[in-house]
Amino acid sequence: MFSSLHEFVARLEHLNELHQVTAPVSTERELAAITRRISAYPQGGPALLFRQPAGYPFPVATNLFGSRRRIRLALGLDRLEDLTDDLRRLLQPATIGGLPDLEVALANQPLLRNCRPVTIPTAPCRDESGTGADLLQFPFLQNWPDDGTGGGTGRYITMGQVFTSLPDGSHPNCGIYRCQIHDAHTLAIRWRSDSGAARHHQAFLAQGQRMPVAIVLGGPPALTLAAAWPLPDGLEELSFACWLRQAPLPVVNCPHGPLSVPAEADLVIEGFAEPDRPLTEGPFGNHTGRYAPAGPAARITVTRITRRAQPILPATVVGPPPQEDCWMMQGWERLLAAFLPRLIPGVREICLPIAWVFRHSAIIALEDPTAVSVRETVHALWRLPWFARARLLVLVDAAIAPRNLHQVAWRVVNETDWLDDLILDEPGGRLAIDATRRTLDEGLTDPVTEALINHRWKEYQLP
């Protein structure tokens, strides 16, 4: 399993999954525009390594996780479905009646509890110190024309793993949040109100203290993915990355607070979230095809930057799908496929369609559904944090593969009774469709003829 971004990039190059751009490319919109075009290729296009971001000495990698195959490679899996199977086996002995039970089961699972990072005294991420902790010396991108026009610059750290903890160092969290560069020593981070980082910041604010923050670029690909996924509270990202890697993850301590960061990181930015004077972050062009409006964000004062001797700086570009972030969530889909059947009886499988994924929308396959059980399932899903803002849920019978979007669409249009099968939550702006009926195909199925055709198929000399 890969211990660093450098190992992953070398493997992608060996497998012809990487294209290197040697021509100078501007970090102001040009690099992002190239990445967006490549990301829209069938099956995601190749990963990109820009050797000459104009004006900077450090290469930039994009679209690293922009295909199902590269997600699988990053996790060391033959099939992404193996992730579901492995997690199901871990949860098998546990009694789970709801999300709190799942979180306790994950926190107490021996194999997960024993997957802990290992602290070491020195590390590649400390090889060099950036002059004056200056953010402007690195090739961070501006992706869209109006990014950051509310204040500061239009440049963002988009693949930064943000490390925080409670004031006593407990409950460490690592999440990916967009970080807007305001000036050489200042960042604005707008973490979601329900995120671990936001809860940590509130605890520091209650004590009137500045919160230590570390922002990491690069390191083990498994940790980057774990940080991107909305894991249940029972899973700490560093420990979960160790389990994904099936190997310990070396870390080094941060001198400015009770934080540890991966030893093999390419860049480590350390500083403090200040308790006063928030900054404006945004606007920011995102997956909706519109700009997320500017708003208040935590003000981060950067105090130190360290890096590898020859770092590669990863970045991601978001926009209307398909883009890299959609493929990254394919791994999260496989985790949900293990969690949901333990949380909601009758759930068999799930699909997060690429075009829906960042609207929390999904297709859910149910075992032996009834009109009553479908509605119970929908409301149970809406109570979970992962679907609380889902704009659309489509429920199908387990006999239907939810990933077969053609068949799902056919059933929605042909078998849905628009008077009885729509489940609408007007206050929440949420809709679910009960497409579980199985009438037309059952009425048209001719098993005798089907068996005859199967027996004689080679005679027809058809492919």
Question: Which of 273, 298, 314 marks a domain boundary?
Answer: 314
176 and 272 in a common domain: yes
- List, in sequence order, every residue forming a beta bridge with 273; answer none if it has no partner: 211, 300
Question: For the residues 135-154, what does the mean pLDDT come to?
Answer: 96
| Helix, strand, or coil (residue 26) | coil
Quickly state the pLDDT bin for 444 (edges 50, 70, 90).
Answer: low
320 in a domain, yes or no? no
Q: What is the CA radius of gyration of the chain?
A: 24
Domain with 22 in it: what CATH number? 2.30.110.10
Strand 186-189 and strand 295-307: the pairing is antiparallel
Place of tokens 């999260």: 332
Question: For the residues 153-177, what does the mean pLDDT come to?
Answer: 96
97 and 20 in a common domain: yes
Distance CA 188, CA 151 (A): 10
- List, in sequence order, every residue forming a beta bridge with 313; answer none if it has no partner: 60
> 68-75 and 5-14 helices cross at what angle (nearest 10)?
130
433 and 307 in a common domain: no
Check pLDDT > 80 for residue 242.
yes
What is the chain's length? 463
Quickly state the pLDDT bin for 439 (edges 50, 70, 90).
Answer: low
> Residues 37-46: contacts with CB within 8 Å, 24+ apart?
38/63, 38/66, 39/63, 39/66, 39/317, 39/322, 39/323, 39/324, 40/322, 40/323, 43/67, 43/68, 43/69, 44/68, 44/70, 44/322, 44/324, 44/327, 46/16, 46/17, 46/18, 46/19
142 and 283 in a common domain: yes
Distance CA 412, CA 99 (A): 30
CB neighbour class for 97 (10 Å; exposed up to 12, middle 13-18, buried from 19):
exposed
Domain with 425 in it: what CATH number? 3.40.1670.10
Per-residue model confidence (pLDDT) at position 438: 60
| Helix, strand, or coil (residue 312) | coil
55's torsion region: left (phi>0), alpha (psi -120 to 50) or beta?
left
Distance CA 462, CA 209 (A): 73
Question: Which DSSP letter does residue 137 get?
Answer: G
362 and 235 in a common domain: no
Residue 133 near residue 303 (C-beta atoms within 8 A): yes
Residue 163 near residue 140 (C-beta atoms within 8 A): no
463 in a domain, yes or no? no
Check pLDDT > 80 for residue 446.
no
457 in a domain, yes or no? no
348-405 tens-digit pLDDT: 999 999 988 888 899 999 999 999 999 999 999 999 999 999 999 999 999 888 888 9
191-234 tens-digit pLDDT: 988 899 999 999 999 999 999 999 999 999 999 999 999 999 98
Q: How far is CA 180 from CA 216, 309, 363, 451, in A?
A: 15, 25, 34, 62
Residue 131 near residue 124 (C-beta atoms within 8 A): no
130 and 22 in a common domain: yes
392 and 306 in a common domain: no
Which sign, positive or negative, has the C-alpha torsion 372, 378, 379, 383?
positive
393 in a domain, yes or no? yes
Nearest-CA neighbor of 181 among 204, 161, 153, 162?
Answer: 153
257 and 305 in a common domain: yes
173 and 24 in a common domain: yes
- Domain containing 110 equals 5-314
Distance CA 415, CA 172 (A): 48
144 in a domain, yes or no? yes
24 in a domain, yes or no? yes
Query: What total number of domains does the chain contain?
Result: 2
Residue type, 275: P
86-123 tens-digit pLDDT: 999 999 988 998 999 999 999 999 988 888 999 999 99
392 and 255 in a common domain: no
- List, in sequence order, every residue forming a beta bridge with 218; answer none if it has no partner: 265
Nearest-CA neighbor of 124 among 247, 271, 3?
Answer: 3
389 and 240 in a common domain: no
Residue 297 near residue 306 (C-beta atoms within 8 A): no
329 in a domain, yes or no? no
332 in a domain, yes or no? no
The DSSP-derived string for 405-439 is: HHHHHHHHHHH--TTTSEEEETTTTEEEEEE----
251 and 368 in a common domain: no
Backbone angles phi, psi at 87, to 5 degrees: -70, -35
